[in-house]
Amino acid sequence: MTGLVKEQFERTGYYMIKGLYTEEEVGMYKEAAREVMRQKDVRKEGVYLGMTAASPIFKQAVAHPVLVAALKQIIGEQVIFMNDKLVFKDASVDFGSPWHQDYPYWKGSHKISVWIALDDASPENGCLRVVPGSHLLGAARHGGDATDGLGFQNRLEEADISGQDIVDLTATRGDAIIFHDLLYHASYPNSSGRDRWALISTYKDGTQEDPEYAWSTAAFQVG
């Protein structure tokens, strides 16, 4: 893996690690996520921020040694975990995510996120979609229509995506997708009626200055 992660990430804006977590680990994380949702009485918005803050079991997931090694290639030696969230889609929470970049949500230094599949993800149940290389285009204006009441106030416009090559990132339980905060990405709606849960963790370069983020409640250095 030496060198390959950095080369592909710099070129495309993402890198997938297949089979990072075992079936046993994924089952453990999903059951722990269900328990957090029960304890916190999470409503059906489809997102819960702060899984590691809610349960220490997720600390081992976001600091997996193979993942940390890959992040060090991309970020450098000082990798800081910022926070994580559960994104859960099922028969009742079935809407897709619109095209966007993550950068407008935090600004400051660029952050790297990791999309961890807790279920198999396909176009039928809401897998991730990306525009390879779009992280090289810089920060977009995000003037897209956000009046549907589904959140995602920062949305790309249709003109930003028109004519771009789009890749569907199908995933198997336990796969992890590392991606840049300027990468254009979205997800399909879940039309299958099956679960499509994902744990998304975010990291930064500890040598870079940033404002204090109120949402970064469980930050720690992983490498």
Least confident of 14-23, 41-50, 185-194: 41-50
Instruction: Return the pLDDT at 41.
Output: 78
Q: Where are the alpha helices (DSSP H) in the chain?
A: 4-12, 23-40, 51-54, 57-62, 65-75, 158-161
Tokens of 149: 């009441």
Tokens of 22: 């075992």
How does pLDDT run across 125-154, given as a tens digit for each residue? 999 999 999 999 999 888 766 666 666 777
Q: Which residue has the higher pLDDT, 165 or 88?
A: 165
Burial class, 208, CB count within 10 angstroms (exposed 0-12 / middle 13-18 / buried 19+): middle
**How far is the CA of 16 from the CAs of 49, 59, 86, 146, in angstroms?**
23, 20, 19, 30
Interval 197-208 mean pLDDT: 97
Q: Which residue has the tokens 């569907």?
A: 168
Q: What angle do CA 129, 133, 136 make, to 5 degrees?
A: 125
State which amino acid sits at residue 100. Answer: H
Interval 96-115 mean pLDDT: 94
Looking from the CA of 19 toward its CB, the CA atoms found within 13 Å total 0
User: pLDDT class for 167, splitting at 50, 70, 90?
Assistant: very high
Among residues 144, 156, 119, 9, which one has the least CA distance to residue 72?
A: 9
How far is C-alpha 135 from the chain's CA centre?
A: 15
Least confident of 35-49, 71-85, 93-107: 35-49
How far is C-alpha 24 from the chain's CA centre?
A: 21
Answer yes or no: is pLDDT of 77 > 70. Answer: yes
Answer yes or no: is pLDDT of 2 > 80. Answer: no
What are residue 203's phi and psi, to 5 degrees?
-135, 160
Interval 177-201 mean pLDDT: 94
Instruction: Return the pLDDT at 40.
Output: 82
Answer yes or no: is pLDDT of 32 > 80. Answer: yes
Q: Please state, rounded to an integer, the average pLDDT across all residues of the chain.
A: 92
pTM of the model: 0.94
Answer yes or no: is pLDDT of 187 > 90. Answer: yes
